[in-house]
Chains A and B, each alone.
Chain A
Amino acid sequence: MGIKINNENFKKNLDKNLNNDFMRAAMVKAQDLINKNRTNVLSQLGDGNYREWQKLSGEVRAHVLENLDFYLNQFAENVVKNGGNVFFAKDAKEASEYVTKLAVERGVKKVVKAKSMVTEEIGLNHHLIDAGVDVKETDLAEYILQLDDWNPPSHMVVPSLHLNRTQIKDVFAKNGYSGKDIPEDLAAFARAQLRNEYVTADMGIYGCNFAIAESGAISLISNEGNIDLCTSAPELQVAVMGMERICATYEDADICISLLARNAVGAKSTSYTTFVNGITEEGAADGAKEFHVVIVDNGRSKVLKSQFKEVLQCMRCAACLNICPVYRQVGGHSYNAIYSGPLGVVLTPLLAGYDDFKELPYMCSLCGACTEVCPSNIPLHSLIHEHKRVLAEEKKVSAFWGASMSGAGMVLSRPWMYKLGTGVAPLMTKPLMVDGKIKKGISILKGWTDKRDLPALEVVRFRDWYAKRSKGGNK
């Protein structure tokens, strides 16, 4: 699959999602619930001064990015010391090929996989399947999506947020489930199916929340316990990570992990915080006998050198999705990419280019809520605006808006033109008026008036009233 999840036209896809009442109700409910819990748990963190935590965590992440070559090298050396192997993949293809080749060479028939955004990004599952390897997603939501013909994730933390329990029951029914749409029963069915997969799998694949440079450990933050089974049952294990996912020390990781759990799910910590530290000891009952770390660039070096580099501080908590007024209405699939919400708006065009994603930067009201919540202190709304600037000034994507904004710039910097324009505007909009309001706009105004009234433009503007009053009228 890769970053792009569908080939549909942006507008058509958006309309479809705006008409999906179930999905939209689920988004509203999920946002309100997660935010309530998040606010509550953050107020209890330290002295409750979240701004200070954001700054601290942002500094920890920025420091690593400033010295990324050093820390990547230190991390890789420590992985090797711990008996593991490290592969630096320059793009999605190299990363997927390395893992698939490894699987084929070791005669792997079945892989158990933990949820990981970067493996979605590089399209690893389909690469393995095409090579004849059976892949089982073990995160409950990812498991549902896999059974639903690889339905793409719509949220970074809650991937199947767009499906309800009846839809999930229908998906399970195609795979032997005969019960009702009761969440506990559905979970029990999935659990029973998955338990068997761990012990029969030849390879475990997982992502990485933070890689610890000073020790070579991979940290994994999870709730379901499936990741721990992936890191313990199979003898051959592969961790895949974006190259920016490093913390210098355990102490730095502690700050990031403390904020990640609280922001992602509104809990003090997740059920499991796991550190995988290379191959297991001689004679141990479980753990990796062979361990590989694949460090994926896939466009990140280019981002690191750009004005967008702060986006690499992201820890994928999805707090920005959970607070975004646009994501709330449109849901994850409207972004046409595995990364959605404000983070997706910033990251997707950087990793996958503007051509297929030039609408994304406009899916933002610039309200700034994302920046306010971000635990990595990323100025998300400013970076979204920077994308708009690049599209407008460098890529010149829209002749219509280019011309309109040239006109606006001219009028707004020349008082005589402004006065003339606003003076004749009421007359020009008169044909659009119904009962004293503009109700049926044309051209770009239609976007407003389809569902909203617009006040009539003032025939007597403020400036007219004030001028007359200064001369003694209008008191």
Chain B
Amino acid sequence: MKVTLFTTCIVDFMAMNVGKATVELLEGLGHEIDYPKNQTCCGQPTYNTGYVEKTKNTIKHFIETFEHADVIVSPSGSCVMFVKEYAHIMADDKEWKERAEKVAAKTYELSQFLIEVINVDDFSAKLPGKAVYHHNCHTARFLKVKEQPIKLLSKVEGLELVDFHNSDKCCGFGGTFSVKMGDISAEVADEKARYIMDANPDYLIGADFACLMNIGGRLSRLGSNIKVMHIAEVLNSK
């Protein structure tokens, strides 16, 4: 299958290894990657800060860049959730609303794509050690992708997945919230990091780099050695 990849802006310029792992993983499963070079961002930074009108050009640009695709896959559930909001945001413009609906219908978060669309079962992935999984709020709550990543991780040889206190709660990232209300955001991240450290894992795994960057940033400041990995990197570990 030809898979059109939306890496997200954060992965592009802050976590290229996640994008790389996504490409290698999908190619390893026999799919062809299509990477539209003009892609930028889903538009959440401006939208979530309240600037809806200033977001519309970004949304239109995304639609123009991706509407040729058969299927769009992204290693970020939050961004995928937002693509699925486009039609609602463009509701007053019939043409763009319809184009937004079409794009949304073929956009998938990576683990969702692996389980729901191509139904893969075995990756021959191997990663020895103990791990915790952080559920991204937008992915679990709105995209309803909660079981899929767990199911995939359970197939990784040598990996033991353990729970931690309040594992389904927000990490405190929240986009511009993390700098606009940095004090509060950091306190939420601190509590999350401490509960993770209590579980004493080797790895913190997530399906959204923004949360991982936030929790990882606090873990790093606390001097923790827990390795932070995106699920694409885990599934691509041999």
Nearest Cβ in chain A — how far from B5, in angstroms?
A: 9
B179 touches A444 (CB 8 A): yes
B7 touches A413 (CB 8 A): no
Nearest Cβ in chain A — how far from B134, in angstroms?
A: 13
Q: Is A427 an interface residue (CB 8 A)?
A: no
Q: Is B225 an interface residue (CB 8 A)?
A: no
Partner of B35, one of A367, A461, A466: A466
Partner of B214, one of A366, A367, A385, A452: A452
Q: Mark B113-142, 1 if CB is under 8 A from A, else 0.
A: 000000000000000000000000110011
Give the complex CA separation of A463 and B217 in angstroms: 24
With a CB–CB cut-off of 8 A, which chain A residues contact B161?
none
Q: Is B40 an interface residue (CB 8 A)?
A: yes
A447 touches B179 (CB 8 A): yes
Give the complex CA separation of A402 and B187 in angstroms: 27
Report which B residues bind A (CB closer than 8 A): 7, 9, 11-16, 19-20, 23, 35, 37-41, 43, 45-46, 48-55, 57-58, 60-61, 137-138, 141-142, 166, 169-170, 172-175, 177-191, 213-214, 216-218, 220-221
Nearest Cβ in chain B — how far from A470, in angstroms?
A: 8
With a CB–CB cut-off of 8 A, which chain B residues contact A365?
137, 170, 172-174, 177, 185, 188
With a CB–CB cut-off of 8 A, which chain A residues contact B185?
365, 447-448
Give the complex CA separation of A444 and B220 in angstroms: 20
Contacts A364-B174, A437-B220, A458-B15 hold; do A409 and B180 have CB atoms under 8 A apart? no
A450 touches B186 (CB 8 A): yes
Partner of A447, one of B13, B38, B137, B182: B182
Classify chain A: how many residues form its interface, as a range.
Answer: 35 or more
For the complex with contacts A326-B188, A365-B137, A461-B16, 17 further pairs of A-B residues with Cβ separation under 8 Å are: A325-B169, A329-B188, A361-B50, A365-B177, A368-B137, A385-B50, A389-B51, A393-B52, A393-B53, A401-B49, A405-B49, A406-B51, A408-B54, A412-B41, A413-B57, A422-B13, A448-B185
Q: Which residue of A lies closest to B5 (CB)?
A: A466
A405 touches B184 (CB 8 A): no
Sample (26) of A-B pairs whose CB atoms are under 8 Å apart: A325-B172, A326-B184, A329-B187, A361-B50, A365-B172, A365-B174, A365-B188, A367-B137, A392-B52, A393-B50, A405-B45, A405-B51, A406-B54, A410-B57, A412-B40, A413-B57, A415-B61, A444-B182, A450-B182, A451-B218, A452-B214, A453-B217, A454-B217, A461-B12, A461-B16, A465-B19
Nearest Cβ in chain A — how far from B137, in angstroms?
A: 4
With a CB–CB cut-off of 8 A, which chain B residues contact A422?
9, 12-13
B183 touches A458 (CB 8 A): no
Contacts A415-B40, A452-B221 hold; do A369 and B137 have CB atoms under 8 A apart? yes
Partner of A451, one of B16, B35, B141, B221: B221
A385 touches B54 (CB 8 A): no
Give the complex CA separation of A402 and B166 in angstroms: 36
Residue in B41, B43, B49, B178 whose Cβ sees the most chain A Cβ within 10 Å: B49
Q: Is A330 an interface residue (CB 8 A)?
A: yes
